[in-house]
Amino acid sequence: MIAVPLRAQEAATGGSTEIGLDPIAEHYQLGNGFKLGDSGFTLGGYGALVYQDAKDSDPQAAVDALSAILWWDGGGRWHFFAELELEDGLIARKGDTTTDEAEWVSERLYFDYIHTDVFKLRFGKFLTPVGRWNLIHAAPLTWTTSRPLITETTFPTNATGAMVYGVLPWTAEGIEYSIYGSIGEELFPEDDLDTFREALGGRVAASPLPNTQIGLSVVSFEQESSGDEHKTLYGLDLLWSWRQFEISGELAYRTITSGPQQRDEEGHYLQLVTPTPVPRLFMVLREEAFHVPAPDRDQSLSLVGLNYRWRPALTFKAEYSWARDDELQLPEGFLASISVLF
């Protein structure tokens, strides 16, 4: 996998490694964040400029995401993390430039208590630990501009509540785990996100083979728009990386109970990343499929793209996707973006 500055990667992913314990250069470097004196606070973030030329729609360019991240480490067991994101801050179409679709979103706002590497506590609003993509969704850290369908529609991407997590030292690589619960109102909910009404879930990830990690996720939940429906999501994710090659994928299957239990949304994706003869330039291939019920509709997408990491914190991407069984009428066509970690 491509190396990304540690502080930037931890900030963007909200990873379980203790935040703020690695040294920062005396002067600011792109991707490392900016240390605010001796306060223990560090300010960072990321942004993405996206160009889209989709089938059956006019081309447009947009400041797709502009995220500010603030984290605090006072040298003890307590840590603080916050991420505020401006979505669709500026959209330019032929003959029109607008900020009407801009929305401020609180992606994360939580406190961590680090007892040991095995036992950590998190309170507040955090990314829902389902699969891999949702936990590393920050634009500079993903291989493509678009995200797979099953990572954004089958479950709310954020949860407000509490989580126990850590790494169990039962194998050579350790076993990552998280157990979380959410009840009541979402903290600073997004306008277009169907949030959890309540949820209880968990994820474990282990490395049974060299260069390989396999994760299992399950979450039982209800959502605000359909409180009488109980849903259960089962997920499987895979990552294999060797030198500069990578294979990753996720599979999700959701059931719904409003009377007899029945099949609900399901899907998968498989993604291959391979280096090219050009240094720092990678080719990305992805196949994905998605199914929704009532009435039964299917979507199959193929994607081919390029990812050029000019610097560890600055990435250029271009991709083209096309659909088969396009019953959901989702956008397909050309996407390009520039993304940067601050």
User: Pick from 240, 200, 233: which is nearest to 216 by CA?
Assistant: 233
* pLDDT at residue 19, as a whole number: 31
* pLDDT at residue 294, as a whole number: 64
* pLDDT at residue 4, as a whole number: 44
Can you list the residues of the chain whose pLDDT is less than 50?
Answer: 1-8, 15-27
The burial class, CB within 10 Å (0-12 / 13-18 / 19+), for 94 is exposed
User: Pick from 245, 250, 301, 249: which is nearest to 273 by CA?
Assistant: 245
* pLDDT at residue 224, as a whole number: 84
* pLDDT at residue 29, as a whole number: 61
